[in-house]
Chains A and B, each alone.
Chain A
Amino acid sequence: MRPVIQMEDLKKRYQIGDQEIQALRGVSLSIETGDFVAIMGPSGSGKSSMMNVIGCLDKPTSGEFYLDGYPVSQAHDDELAEIRNQKIGFVFQNFNLLPRTTAVENVELPLLYAGTPAKERRERAIQALLDVGLGERLNNKPNELSGGQQQRVSIARALVNDPVILLADEPTGALDTKTSVEIMGIFQQLNNAGKTVILVTHEPDIAEYAKRIVRFRDGQIVSNEIVEERRRVLLEEVIT
């Protein structure tokens, strides 16, 4: 199987004034299609920086990065926008939904920028919301939804373009335990259906829903191991 993510000696430096921050200090990682990876590590260890590079939201300072075989390091802004649109679904800790905009309109957004016709856009957005169990909340605005429901909307938005990879940076960080488990159930289902999932978490029991755990410290990978006793969310738990 061809790796969907392949990075060699990836470095990311931030410059704040005359202070230089090494967020990633040479990361090499390869992730196969269909994998479910949890990235862990203390705060400030570079997890989000890593996710932003994988998600093409940010360019690495140096190193090679191939996404689905495509050399992202050399791409310019508009190409990156297209990759984000076509190949990546991003789920954020704080949901990042457009305010004053209904669930279905939020989910339609990626299709809007992909140039999908209006009718097909609406159909696919509704289907994506049905898939995450939000069929009855299509026309609610984010402020009319609970945290868990908002996160489902944002998962639906991440999925609607059928991306090759689903990225989630602390998707359960703002949710209670029960809702977190439900969200993890959705990720597991998606992964079972073949979707590659990468998520960042600092909660060990959340990480155990993944197939593999990669640990970061000071901008470097310190371990990369398969989860032996993998937790599974029972299907009944997800549906309710």
Chain B
Amino acid sequence: MRVIVPIKQIRDPRGVKADPRRQQVTLEEAELVINPTDRNALEEALVLKDKLGAKVTVISIGGPEVEDSIREAWACGADEGILLSDELLAKADFRGAALALAKAIQKLGDFDLIIAGAMAADTCQGQLGPRLAAALDIPCVNDVYRILEVSGGKARVIRGWDEKFLEVEVELPAVLCIAPGANVPRLPHGARIMNSYQWEMPVWKASDLGLSEEDLRPGVEERGLSFPPERVRGRVSRGSPEDLARELVSFLRERHLI
């Protein structure tokens, strides 16, 4: 059984500094870490490794610095890691990234599951998992909180659905997008950390994946970043519960919210 975990390296959101007055976001001082939800995804994969002996392969796209995150995933218990890296891939948007990952996964051969984080904490788009499933033409379950069972070519999982949970069965191979906080990801073992740079990591270029500049041309153009408008201050009302309820209802009616 082979499980593939695509991970993304991001700037630790806790270290990002924002200055709304100067419309400036400083990223560079923040540490480079594995996207938190991808750690949740890796944890689910490693549980399958513990329980079913799954082989866990981690793949990431980015510059040479991304190697550190792949090695950290290895230290946590992943069996191997592959870095997709060159100038073309560096410019890829979500579509391009999903395409490159799909090609790399096809190049690896057979697999049973792709377990991804539902969302990256830097862009908060949640596009990669579904796009990857589309590119590979396999089913995708989003917002997964728990993997109940993987057997007989199927997986049973619990996913969020509105305010409820839904039990879903999906045929393999499939993409599962793990919800943020679905588990507590394990920490890497110290001795594995110390050994984590002692294996050769394959680095694949766009050309190794049969992708051209045209294939990876971004469909989205970034024109600049700006801060969301300042929020208007809320209104504080006081009075008896009856008066307050009446006021609230008329307030909501005025705005056509009820």
Whether chains A and B associate is: no
